[in-house]
Amino acid sequence: MTQKLTDRPISIAADHRGVALKARLKAWLLANGYTVKDCGTDSDAERVDAMDYALQLAAEIKAGRSDFAIGICGSGQMMAITANRFPFIRATLLHAAEETVGAREHGDANMLVLGADATDDVTAEHILKAFLNTAAVGERYAARRERLAKLDISGL
């Protein structure tokens, strides 16, 4: 593992379809020296709405309790769509570790989203490792990130 990008807890949450993958990634984080804030859910027995957990993850980042979050639902779509409603969230739905570098270096993604139905445990761990070991490229993409944070589509 390279130098950690944060000393704050990594917030993680999943809906009922992502519970098993969340447990696996939480164990990986703890084994690799990260502190974890588990925002739920803990059971796959009852259907829950991924949107509720994406909102909890966004709240953790907004409050400064976490620099990074991980959201997991069946497809990953609802977590990503919900989280990206907030200008301080840059959620990226990833399917392969190779996609991760661009999302972190160019977009400074602060929320990793995974689809539990389409992502096996090994691939998810590779994606997570790449996500947490890739820093944003400083000045080259800073203007893009600032512009993105100010984007307001309500006037369209």
Domain ranges of the chain: 10-151
Longest CA pairwise span in the chain (Å): 47
Between strands 91-93 and 36-38, the pairing is unpaired
Among this protein's residues, is 126 annotated catalytic?
A: no
Residue 39 tokens, joined: 């925002």
Mean pLDDT, rounded, of the chain: 93
Using a 10 angstrom Cβ sphere, with 0-12 exposed, 13-18 middle and 19 or more buried, the burial of residue 11 is buried
CA separation (Å) from 7 to 4, 33, 64, 81, 145? 7, 10, 12, 27, 22
Q: pLDDT tens across 6-46, in order? A: 999 999 999 999 999 999 999 999 999 999 999 999 999 99
Among candidate residues 16, 95, 106, 126, the one labeled active-site is: 106
The reported pTM is 0.93
Segment 136-154 mean pLDDT: 77
Indicate if the alpha-carbon torsion angle 19, 25, 84, 8 is positive or negative.
Answer: positive
Amino acid at 146: E
Class of domain 10-151: alpha beta
pLDDT tens profile 77-126: 999 999 999 989 999 999 999 999 999 998 899 999 999 999 999 999 99
Cβ atoms within 10 Å of 53's Cβ, excluding its own: 28
Taking only the tens place, the pLDDT of each residue in 49-69 is 999 999 999 999 999 999 999
